Amino acid sequence: MPSSLLLLVFGSVFSDVNVAIASQFNPTTISRSHPRSTQTSNLDFSDVGRPRRRQGGGSRGSCLIANQPPLTALVPESSTGYTLSQSPSFWFYLPYHLGKGHAMEFVLKDSQENLVYSETIADRDIPPGIFNLRLPDTVILDTQQSYEWYLVVQCDATNAERFVFVNGAIRRLDRPDLQPQMANLEQATNPEFYITENLWYDAVDATAAQLQKAPQNREFRQQWENLLQQMGLSNLTTASMTDCCTVNRISPDGLSLDRTGH
């Protein structure tokens, strides 16, 4: 499915979510301090009224699969979190086997509702499992604002109006004070360090990367399972990881670029 058509199909979801966010989220109230700073931080993503969901909410028909977890973002229950990465990675559990006629789209917007990045995957063979979408190096998050992201999946190849989505928020922190500590850490201890610092996006990315490189390593497997349990996602501990395929990336300037999957 072409990206322009995909956006039309999913436009009603984005519109409804964005209106709700805009009415309840005022970027001017956000403190620029980090959560473990000596200053009091007002950076709070936990407002109950925000329409964020880490598990898939369907539209015009259920996209649930019997005895399988729904589409899930690997984020804390609030669907929000912090990162140190300039161009972070986002991890998801996909319960569907996507193929011809299916499509999914990842969208990132800044706090002024400007499109920062959009990535579309259509008519590709993607098995169910846990996968990641990493921002390209050219997309750098500004530490002065928060971002909203969305992942929408067309779950029915025969009905474009049946889709499911997850969405949340991310904030990049400027923490130069952590660099000396991180330089002295062994790679295997990075996930625990990220969790201590409340950097959940980085914790998931580091832990998953370890396990992908050494899937038979029992210590890495245990770290991965412990992390998911801490996030309240123990139902995903047995889910396999899958490489996402070649994608068509739509940049903010409208150019379509090809990139090999992560």
Query: What's the whole-number mean pLDDT along residues 30-44?
Result: 29
Assess if residue 220 is contained within a domain: no
Assess if residue 208 is contained within a domain: no
Residue where the block lists tokens 């969305």: 150
Assess if residue 186 is contained within a domain: no
Residue where the block lists tokens 């499509």: 103
Look up the domain containing 80 and give its range: 3-175+235-259
Whether the pLDDT of residue 62 is over 90: the answer is no
Q: What's residue 103's pLDDT?
A: 87
User: pLDDT per residue over 200-254, tens digit each?
Assistant: 999 999 999 889 989 999 999 999 999 999 999 999 999 999 877 543 444 344 3
Assess if residue 184 is contained within a domain: no
Could you tell me the pLDDT band of residue 147, with boundaries at 50, 70 and 90? very high
d(CA 215, CA 209): 10
Whether the pLDDT of residue 140 is over 70: the answer is yes
3-class DSSP state of 153: strand
User: pLDDT per residue over 160-192, tens digit each?
Assistant: 778 889 999 999 999 888 888 877 776 656 778
Rounding to the nearest 10 degrees, give the CA dihedral for residues 156, 117, 91, 2.
Answer: 20
d(CA 122, CA 131): 16
Assess if residue 250 is contained within a domain: yes
d(CA 198, CA 207): 14
Indicate the pairing of strand 256-259 with strand 247-250. Answer: antiparallel
Assess if residue 21 is contained within a domain: yes
Assess if residue 222 is contained within a domain: no
Whether the pLDDT of residue 24 is over 70: the answer is no
CATH at residue 17: 2.60.40.1220
Assess if residue 29 is contained within a domain: yes
Q: How many domains does the chain have?
A: 1
pTM of the model: 0.76
